[in-house]
Amino acid sequence: MLVDVLSRPFVLQVAWFTLWQAAASTVLTVALALPAAYVFARFRFPGRRLLGALAIVPFVLPTVVVGAAFLALLGPRSPLNEWLETNFGLTRSPLRLEHTIWAILLAHVFYNFAVVLRIVGGVWARLDPRMGDAAAVLGAGRWAGFRHVTWPLLRPAVASAASIVFLFTFTSFGVILLLGGPRHATLEVEIYRQTAQLLNLPVAATLSLLQMTALLALLLLYSRYQERLAVVHRPSPADPARLPRGAAEWVLVGTVLAGTISLLGLPLAAMVERSLSVAGGYGPANYLALAGTAQTALFVPPAQAVVNSLVFAALACLLCVVMGLLASVVISRRRGLAGQAFDALLMLPLGTSAVVVGFGFIVGFGGLAGVLPLDLRTSPVLVPIAHGLIALPFIVRAVLPVMRSIDVRLREVAAVHGAGPGRVWREVDLPLVGRALLVGAGFAFAVSLGEFGATLFVARPDTPTMPLAVFRLLSQPGALAFGQAMAMSVVLMVVTAASVLVIDRFRSGAQGQL
Amino acid sequence: MLTVAGAVVRYGPVAALNGVDLTINAGERLAVLGPSGSGKTTLLRAVAGLEPLAAGSISWGGRELTGVPPQRRGFGLMFQEYVLFPHRDVAGNVGFGLRMRGDDGDTIARRVEEVLEMVGLRGYGKRRISELSGGEQQRVALARALAPSPRLLMLDEPLGALDRGLRLRLTEELDELFRSLELTILYVTHDQEEALSIGQQVAVMRDGVIDTLQPAEELWRRPATEFAARFLGMPNIVDAQIAAGEATTPWGRLPAPDATEGRWRLLLRPEGLEPAPDGPICGVVEARLFRGQRVLLRLAVAGAPPLVVHADWVSVPAIGERLCLRPRPGALAVLT
């Protein structure tokens, strides 16, 4: 069965497409983000901090919002098309990118730009600028200095960022489902199609295994490569950024910033514009329709999706905090093999994809249907459980390092002063871990709000979340559904961005690894 | 010959160099001494071509260097904290300049061996930078700067990060190396002993300008300015009236046989005083700091600023005791 499925030509085709689109997206993202990383690391300019913070926004957006934004910008209803049609009297939309590979690649660049900007830019900013000076004094010109000194020192960061981008784009689901059309399918999309549309569970299961194997191999490769590339260098203490000098540097900074702003800003701007656009002008009609009970493509009023999402996110968050805290205590107290094994086990959801998790849930709970008292497959509880599982690694990564860094002597002091073990934990550990826990909880909340891949499998038709609502509205024909999808996407974007901003405020004092 | 004339370097509104003039002849060693923030490092960076001048000029042998990028100046610079390339081994660091110049592999290997031998690191070529001690890193940085045989070698606090014992030994070694190679040296430090032993000439910097530039021994014996004297650890400076071979100071009347008559700022050297029951300066010991070779005293003199004394004599009085002193020959210096 396994060999039979794997040797079918369409499987090879899908695997090949998954691989090369990820490679192309990675190359493109790195190529476009490197100049921005340089400009942000080395130059001071007005609005540097604000722009740096805003550049992160695309990365935290739910995939359906990214898909919707690029549909708004590049699809048949793009404001660009409208403008071209009215001004040149065209009858057909001239710009049709929505089912092309270009839309997918651009959306991936948009989504992962911040990964390269943050990782490479962070290392670049901490590179002692005197390294370049030393090379110059020893006779190296600008290019030679970059090639022989800066680039070798930057390479590990670039490799690391590129691997992460590759991993993300390899498992890309929502973006490709929305933008790829019927001709473009990654493994993720194909697993979904085989399950939901063709009801071919054996093929879907085989593809899931293939996907997991590939991901584990990638992760192994990544960690091996990471170690080999590590270069010990003392970071420079101060921010080395300076004002640009001379016309050439100002032009460079201006061009790179203009490019970055258009790449990251235009899709979102188009989405907001479309959400406000109604027949014959602009107005809030699309948003009002969301609040109303008028018949839509959904089985429930759209406002219900917002409520669902918030409730699910809160439950997932709660589940995650309890589980994450218990797991962190166990791992941090139990050194040695058992602790390590448990730690690795908890990271597994990171090494699988959301679609595989969703698929696993329905297959797994399907198998348990006769055993458990209630059939979880049809229960809405499944959604927060799935979200909690996906978000668990994040919370453990946030809490565990802080918990491990607590000085044992603090607990000893508390014990000497008469606190029992439970009291010690409440008086010492919890207050110290609190901030990291809040950050982790915020992440769990944001992850749950935007989760799409697994939700598509486990959510019941009558309890859609916001991402599902966007997806269903976009699948409907007609300007009305499209406008509402845009409005729903904007709401989802605002809620996600707000929760991430709140996290960011707490984060400054926390010391987790996220 | 290096000539710096009216050099100004600005960081935004702040002038880190505010009109510096100095000359170093080929084969000469100039040490620049000054407190942190006085512009020493900026001076080196400007000469190296790493900071553009807002005004003034830097030239070598009469050839103006403005607009010549650092890689074409043929100067060597040993950075503070060394700034070694962490991704290259010792040989890769030392041979970097030769490689940039386009030397072939054999020439580079031979020169690297030669320079490593010179700094006492024979056979260290394959070591990684992270495996080296602070002293070894210092030598690698020196070797890297020396390898391309620069026409001017600049060193920025080369011994700053090392402990005192190592610093004394290395000062000696550096001096020997500079002499034997007949290098032209611009040496920056905040340590007066280092500056006085390395530099034939010593410039004292203050707020982005050269306060004094004197031969090392002259600077020590007769510092030209009050700032230089204080920075060298000689704080006993007062107004004095000199007439008929005698200086009238708040501390008393002191013999000043060679001084020109008039009103002057006068320096009384802390180490130039000895105990004498009938001495002209009398006071009470207010503070006493045992320093091994000498004892630092602060003497409260009625109606005068406290006097700092470096006592190298056998029995030094305790706090609260009364003490009378007389200046040794050469203890008085007139400042300009």
**How do residues A220-233 score in pLDDT, each as one tens digit?**
777 777 666 555 55
Asked if B50's CB is within 8 angstroms of A133's CB, the reply is yes
Asked if B52's CB is within 8 angstroms of A138's CB, the reply is no
Which of B48, B71, B79 is opposite residue A140, by nearest beta carbon? Answer: B71
Chain B residues whose beta carbon lies within 8 Å of the beta carbon of residue A137: 48-50, 70-71, 73, 75-77
- Residue reference for tokens 């210096």: B333
Nearest residue of chain B to residue A236 (CA atoms): B83
Architecture label for domain B2-231: 3-Layer(aba) Sandwich (3.40)
Whether the predicted pLDDT of A513 surpasses 50: no
**Could you state, in order of their start, the residue ranges of all structural domains in chain A?**
1-283, 292-514
Fold for A1-283, please state it.
MetI-like fold (1.10.3720)
pLDDT in tens, A441-496: 888 888 899 899 888 888 887 888 999 988 988 888 777 888 888 988 999 999 88
Q: Report residue B40 as tokens.
A: 């020493």
**Position A7 confidence tier, pLDDT thresholds 50, 70, 90:** confident
**Position B148 confidence tier, pLDDT thresholds 50, 70, 90:** very high
Question: Could you tell me if B134 lies within 8 Å of chain A, comparing CB atoms?
Answer: no
CA A502 to chain centre: 17
A-B CB pairs within 8 A amount to: 70
Cβ atoms within 10 Å of A54's Cβ, excluding its own? 16
Question: Could you tell me if B83 lies within 8 Å of chain A, comparing CB atoms?
Answer: yes
Q: Report residue B317 as tokens.
A: 């009085």
Question: Could you tell me if B79 lies within 8 Å of chain A, comparing CB atoms?
Answer: yes
Asked if B144's CB is within 8 angstroms of A138's CB, the reply is yes
Chain B residues whose beta carbon lies within 8 Å of the beta carbon of residue A149: 85
β-strand pairing of B75-78 with B152-156: parallel
Chain A residues whose beta carbon lies within 8 Å of the beta carbon of residue B144: 134, 138
Whether the predicted pLDDT of B156 surpasses 50: yes
Q: Report residue A326 as tokens.
A: 């218990």
The residue with greater pLDDT, A337 or B270, is B270
Chain B residues whose beta carbon lies within 8 Å of the beta carbon of residue A243: 12
Chain B residues whose beta carbon lies within 8 Å of the beta carbon of residue A144: 71, 100
Q: Which of B14, B42, B82, B83 to probe the A interface (max A CBs under 10 A)?
A: B83
Percent of chain B with pLDDT strictly greater than 70: 100
- Span between the terminal Cα atoms of chain A, in Å: 41
Which of A138, A231, A245 is opposite residue B87, by nearest beta carbon? Answer: A231
Amino acid identity for residue A62 in this structure: P
**Position A335 confidence tier, pLDDT thresholds 50, 70, 90:** low
Interface of A with B (CB under 8 A): 128, 130-131, 133-141, 144, 148-149, 152-153, 231-234, 243, 245
Which of A138, A148, A233 is opposite residue B86, by nearest beta carbon? Answer: A233
Percent of chain A with pLDDT strictly greater than 90: 19
Q: Give A385→chain B minimum CA distance, Å.
A: 47
Which of B86, B144, B148 is opposite residue A232, by nearest beta carbon? Answer: B86
Amino acid identity for residue A63 in this structure: T
Asked if B79's CB is within 8 angstroms of A134's CB, the reply is yes
Q: Which of B9, B11, B42, B71 to probe the A interface (max A CBs under 10 A)?
A: B71
Which of A137, A231, A245 is opposite residue B70, by nearest beta carbon? Answer: A137
The residue with greater pLDDT, B116 or A223, is B116
Whether the predicted pLDDT of A340 surpasses 80: no
Whether the predicted pLDDT of A155 surpasses 60: yes
Whether the predicted pLDDT of B116 surpasses 60: yes
Question: Could you tell me if B102 lies within 8 Å of chain A, comparing CB atoms?
Answer: no
Q: Give B207→chain A minimum CA distance, Å.
A: 22
CA A210 to chain centre: 22
Whether the predicted pLDDT of B111 surpasses 70: yes
Whether the predicted pLDDT of B275 surpasses 60: yes
Q: What local confidence, expressed as pLDDT, does residue A256 receive?
A: 93
Whether the predicted pLDDT of B212 surpasses 90: yes
Mean pLDDT for A98-111 is 89
Can you give the three-state secondary structure of B193-210, one letter per residue?
HHHHHHCCEEEEEECCEE
**Position A193 confidence tier, pLDDT thresholds 50, 70, 90:** confident
Percent of chain A with pLDDT strictly greater than 70: 88
CA–CA distance, A148 with A152 (Å, rounded to integer): 7
pLDDT in tens, A396-455: 888 888 888 888 788 778 888 778 788 888 888 888 888 888 888 888 888 899 899 888
Question: Could you tell me if B87 lies within 8 Å of chain A, comparing CB atoms?
Answer: yes
Amino acid identity for residue A464 in this structure: P
Nearest residue of chain A to residue B80 (CA atoms): A130
β-strand pairing of B281-290 with B2-11: unpaired
Do the beta carbons of residue B173 and residue B135 sit within 8 Å?
no
CA–CA distance, B54 with A432 (Å, rounded to integer): 52
Which of B49, B72, B79 is opposite residue A130, by nearest beta carbon? Answer: B79
Q: Which of B14, B77, B85 to probe the A interface (max A CBs under 10 A)?
A: B85
Which of A140, A232, A245 is opposite residue B100, by nearest beta carbon? Answer: A140
- Residue reference for tokens 């007949």: B182
Whether the predicted pLDDT of A290 surpasses 60: yes
pLDDT in tens, A316-331: 999 999 998 888 888 8
Chain B residues whose beta carbon lies within 8 Å of the beta carbon of residue A152: 87
Q: Which of B80, B87, B112, B140 to probe the A interface (max A CBs under 10 A)?
A: B87
**Position B195 confidence tier, pLDDT thresholds 50, 70, 90:** very high
Supply the mean pLDDT for chain B: 92
Q: Report residue B176 as tokens.
A: 């020997």
Which of A133, A137, A234 is opposite residue B75, by nearest beta carbon? Answer: A137
**Position A512 confidence tier, pLDDT thresholds 50, 70, 90:** very low
Burial track B138-151 (b if 16+ CB lie within 10 A, e otherwise): bbbbbbbbbbbebe
Q: What local confidence, expressed as pLDDT, does residue B26 receive?
A: 93
Q: Which stretch, B67-71, B207-211, B246-250, has highest mean pLDDT? A: B207-211
Question: Could you tell me if B96 lies within 8 Å of chain A, comparing CB atoms?
Answer: yes
Nearest to A305 by CA among A317, A291, A285, A319: A291
Whether the predicted pLDDT of A4 surpasses 60: yes
**Could you state, in order of their start, the residue ranges of all structural domains in chain B?**
2-231, 239-335
Q: Which of A128, A138, A143, A147 to probe the B interface (max B CBs under 10 A)?
A: A138
Q: Give A135→chain B minimum CA distance, Å.
A: 8
Q: What local confidence, expressed as pLDDT, does residue A350 receive?
A: 67
Which of B71, B76, B83 is opposite residue A131, by nearest beta carbon? Answer: B83
Chain B residues whose beta carbon lies within 8 Å of the beta carbon of residue A233: 86-87
Mean pLDDT for B255-269 is 88
- Residue reference for tokens 């926390």: A510
pLDDT in tens, B82-102: 889 888 899 999 999 999 989
Q: Report residue A450 as tokens.
A: 């935007």
Q: Which of A44, A128, A133, A137 to probe the B interface (max B CBs under 10 A)?
A: A137
Mean pLDDT for B32-54 is 93
**Position A508 confidence tier, pLDDT thresholds 50, 70, 90:** low
Fold for A292-514, please state it.
MetI-like fold (1.10.3720)
Supply the mean pLDDT for chain A: 82
Whether the predicted pLDDT of A119 surpasses 90: no
Q: What local confidence, expressed as pLDDT, does residue A510 receive?
A: 43
Whether the predicted pLDDT of A208 surpasses 70: yes
Q: How far is CA A414 from CA A189, A245, A419, B183, in A?
A: 54, 57, 6, 64
Asked if A234's CB is within 8 angstroms of B86's CB, the reply is yes
The residue with greater pLDDT, A109 or A340, is A109
Q: Which stretch, A195-209, A499-513, B124-138, has highest mean pLDDT? A: B124-138
Q: CA dihedral defined by B15, B19, B25, B27, rounded to 10 degrees? A: -20
Superfamily name and number for B239-335: Nucleic acid-binding proteins (2.40.50.140)
The residue with greater pLDDT, B325 or A285, is B325
Q: What local confidence, expressed as pLDDT, does residue A511 receive?
A: 42
Chain A residues whose beta carbon lies within 8 Å of the beta carbon of residue B97: 138-139
Q: Give B260→chain A minimum CA distance, Å.
A: 49
Whether the predicted pLDDT of A163 surpasses 80: yes
Q: Give B7→chain A minimum CA distance, Å.
A: 19
Chain A residues whose beta carbon lies within 8 Å of the beta carbon of residue B149: none
pTM: 0.79
Chain B residues whose beta carbon lies within 8 Å of the beta carbon of residue A136: 49-50, 69-71
Tell me chain B's radius of gyration from C-alpha atoms.
24
